[in-house]
Structure 1
Amino acid sequence: MPAVDTRNISRDSLFLMADLRLEGADSLERVKVRNLSAGGMMAEGSVRVMRGARLSVKLRNIEWVDGSVAWVQDNRFGIAFDHEVDPAQARSQPTSPDESTTPRFVRTAGFQPGYGEPDKLRKI
């Protein structure tokens, strides 16, 4: 891993969930993605990792990306990807609705024609 400081690389602050698999492990861990750039990400979760550990991360709309742990601090850690990804893809909505990746708080927005009677809306 090169000793080049990449902190000046543009990164997006966001909140997504991702699946993580440590090299040699059979189970998946669920982590929060705190920020994401083309070359890596910051994750937060209860999974215990060590600097240099190899892993794969499944990001929304990107699929599995291989990388290694660059740093660890408490329950947060940085992951350096083996190859660059497009962070805009992870921000975009999934192309096909999938119950496991769509947050439960997402609802259809606003009034929909044919749903209820507009003159009988309850005033709050």
Structure 2
Amino acid sequence: MTGVETRSVARDSLFLLADIRIEQGAEANRVRVRNLSDGGMMAEGNLKVKRGHRVDVELRNIGSVPGTVAWVQDDRFGIAFDEEIDSQKARRPLGAAEVASLAAAELSRAHRAPPPPETAKLRKL
């Protein structure tokens, strides 16, 4: 390998988990996602897939994404998605925006820090 990147699509190196269902089987299998792009991903796990298998990948913050196994090597394999996704969504914390707005609205006054004191009213020692 020359160390020169020849791929035309940028990939994000990351480590997250996803569930994959092989079209022929009903059970979901947990795999590690090693890299992710808008058009596909590389996964790693004890899963018996073959090139050409149709799969559904459940990605965090994205949902179910259909695709096809493009290549297999040992316990790693590549999946080409049927349609492009926003791969950056998978990096975001689970429902961060929704959790933050809900938490701020539901906190009682007892859970909030008091406002800072006015410096003019502070006594000097």
* TM-score computed with the length of structure 2 as normaliser: 0.71
Q: For 1:89, what is the secondary structure of its paired residue? A: helix
Residue 88 of structure 1: aligned partner: 88
1:47-86 matched pairs, under 5 angstroms: 47-86=47-86
- 1:90 is paired with a residue whose SS is helix
Aligned AA for 1:17?
L
1:12 aligns with 2:12: yes
Instruction: Give, as a single letter, the amino acid of the residue that structure 2 aligns with 1:74.
Output: D
Separation (CA, whole Å) in 1 of partners of 2:53 and 2:82: 13
Q: Which amino acid aligns with 1:85?
A: I
Is residue 32 from structure 1 mapped to residue 32 from structure 2 by the alignment? yes
Larger Rg over CA atoms = 2
Q: Counterparts of 2:56 and 2:7 in 1: how far apart (Å)?
A: 22
Q: Secondary structure at the match of 1:49?
A: coil
Deviation >2 Å, runs of 4+: none
- By how many angstroms is 1:47 displaced? 0.4
Residue type of the partner of 1:55?
A: V
- 2:38 and 2:8 mapped to 1: Cα distance? 12
Residue 26 (structure 1) shift? 1.2
Q: Distance in 2 between matches of 1:21 and 1:7?
A: 27
What SS does the aligned partner of 2:89 have?
helix
* RMSD of equivalent CA atoms: 1.4
Counterpart of 1:93, as a letter, is: P
